[in-house]
Chain A
Amino acid sequence: MVKLLKCEGASYAYPGGTPAVDGASLSVEQGRFVCIIGPNGAGKSTLLKGMAGLLPLDRGDVTVDGVAVSGLGSKARARTLALVPQFLDAIPPLTVASFVMGGRYGHLDSWRRADMSDYEAVGAALKAAHVEELGERLLGELSGGQRQRVLIARALAQEAGYLLVDEPTSSLDPEHQLGVFNLLRELARSGRGVCVVTHDLNLASQFADEVALMRAGSFAAMGCPTELLTPEVLEPVYGAHFRFASWGAGDGEERPVVVPWAAQ
């Protein structure tokens, strides 16, 4: 059986509001890198939280490897799906290693004791996110790019099969943007299902196996980057003009390059 995270007909409205997500369906297979793109307010982050089981959907189902996410206990859910948030409410006064240990919560026994396997998992997560050397540094001392990697490391410590990542590059410089997307693709290649919400069409183009375009709470189109990142698909959804080109990506394939351009 193909292992996948599947969302079917998901709908959710915030209390007193119009539906933020309205009949959205998406599948993320393990080993695949899926990017969700779309204009502001299209419902991308809300859908991601719905897929992570953090919002009670009004309609629709989310299943992971055939099991309903809503039926999982909170710890079992954290062992199956890991969400990397766009930002934290506050930066706690913790070392990186202690912060990443937070990702082990779903694995701890009923007395909340960490054992050797937890410390090993934290070490492996720090290594996989290339932040081993930051273990003893305080979270508040890190740069934006380092902090983003540490957030990914904490999600890796959950040892979940699926990573849901919300706008990981929104405040990063180009070098760190590429670094984070490279890391996420590496993680997908190592067998995890990775689903990333991003506004950066060119990062999605270079790295994603599949791009899904959201408009007004549901998907307007989805497919591989070359099929999806075209004027016919993007311009009606974004209501903006783009210039298009095509360059070879690292895997030897030609990928679209998309630049928003003011109408002449």
Chain B
Amino acid sequence: MAARPLAILLTLLLAGILVASLGVGSTDVVGVADGVRGALAMFGLAEPLEQYQVLVELRVTRLLATVGVGAALALSGALLQGVFRNDLASPSIIGVSSGAGLGASLAILVIGGYGPRFMIENAVGFGPVIVTLAALVGAASCAWLVTTLSTANGRISVPMLLLVGIAVNAIAAGLLAAIQSWALRDYDVSQALFSWVFGRLEDRSAFQVGLLWSGLLASALVIPFVALELDLFATGEEDARALGVNTGRVKLLAVLAASAAAAIAVSVAGQISFIGLVVPHVVRRITTASHRAVLPLCLLAGPVFLAGTELAQRTLLGGAHLQPGVTMSLLGGPFFLFLLVRHRRELRAW
């Protein structure tokens, strides 16, 4: 399918999913029509609902968080797959999400009263910003570590990339477990940390959603400056350099933007794996492999996938709603195995 019709289709699909989602939640007291009216009222375009206006506003905030997180993770995955020239790369597999989670957890621990006194005092009132910045530092550090260790003579080794990802994920998981066990008796802090493990899109503040969208916008701004370049990377980094691409700058921009997008999503919603793996892969399959189409389309397809899955499971499971991190792992894990089987020959050659 050509990129433009796919963009229109995804936009319509996303709009449909969002409207339907306004009528679905843990309490089914608001229908779709009231949900839409309440949402319009938030922007002064309709009369507020007499009852349940607050409930609808919570749902709108949840949906804005869902769309932002889906877009950020899909964009992050598409950028990483372009830089590493392999569709097995994604923020959760190569450890970027874990790094973000570790940074954010450390920040939560400090804000929760477990850091040096001067840090706690300075952190008061800046919680979400500090958590996001700490997530960014964690994500960028892991991205740098993974890139450095898996590159030899200017070429990235895919098995090495996956193995370093395993190591980074294991280290981050160990440290996260240590942080959680340390704060186990502190109810507030351990609850805040715990919600990270399964991912969380509900109860996000308007400030967090604003932060998420600002970070997403900043990351998406790199698209025009890396998309064609990542297409030229397909034949090899040295070939791209011979054509005039400043490969160092493109890699830095793309990895930084991918880290920032993953970090901002993780800092707002916790660990939601595999969107960055599945979405870019499916988009490339449906349409072209050109990053000039894939990167913007991921900004639509990521939210369609996350919000669509959320809507489907809320409709099917009702009150027994699973956390998004759980559903994404259940869907994405088998998909990753499918990709590994498809790449069997390449990996066996190692």
Contacts and interface: CB of A to CB of B under 8 A. Distances in A.
Contacts of A73: 246
Interface string A105-116: 110100110000
Contacts of A66: none
Interface stretch (A78-86, A125-133, A200-208): A78-86
B239 A88 contact: yes
A252 interface: no
A236 B277 CA distance: 57
Contacts of B243: 78, 102-103, 105-106, 154, 158
A202 B33 CA distance: 81
B242 A85 contact: yes
Interface in B215-260: 224, 227-228, 231-232, 234-236, 238-239, 241-246
Given A92-B289, A111-B224, A102 B241 contact: no
Given A54-B241, A54-B242, A79-B244, 19 more contacts: A52-B242, A54-B238, A73-B246, A74-B244, A82-B242, A85-B236, A90-B85, A90-B235, A92-B235, A92-B289, A102-B243, A103-B243, A105-B228, A105-B245, A106-B243, A108-B228, A112-B224, A154-B243, A158-B243
A14 interface: yes
A75 interface: yes
B241 to A, nearest CB: 6
A244 B239 CA distance: 38
Interface of B: 85, 153, 224, 227-228, 231-232, 234-236, 238-239, 241-246, 289
A156 to B, nearest CB: 13
What is the predominant secondary structure among interface residues of chain A facing chain B?
loop
B210 to A, nearest CB: 29
A175 interface: no
B245 A74 contact: yes
Contacts of B236: 85, 88-90
A153 to B, nearest CB: 13
12 contacts: A73-B246, A77-B244, A89-B85, A89-B239, A92-B234, A102-B232, A102-B235, A103-B243, A105-B232, A106-B244, A111-B224, A158-B243
Contacts of A54: 238, 241-242
A108 B246 CA distance: 14
A89 B247 CA distance: 16
A54 to B, nearest CB: 6
Contacts of B232: 102, 105
Interface in A142-165: 154, 158
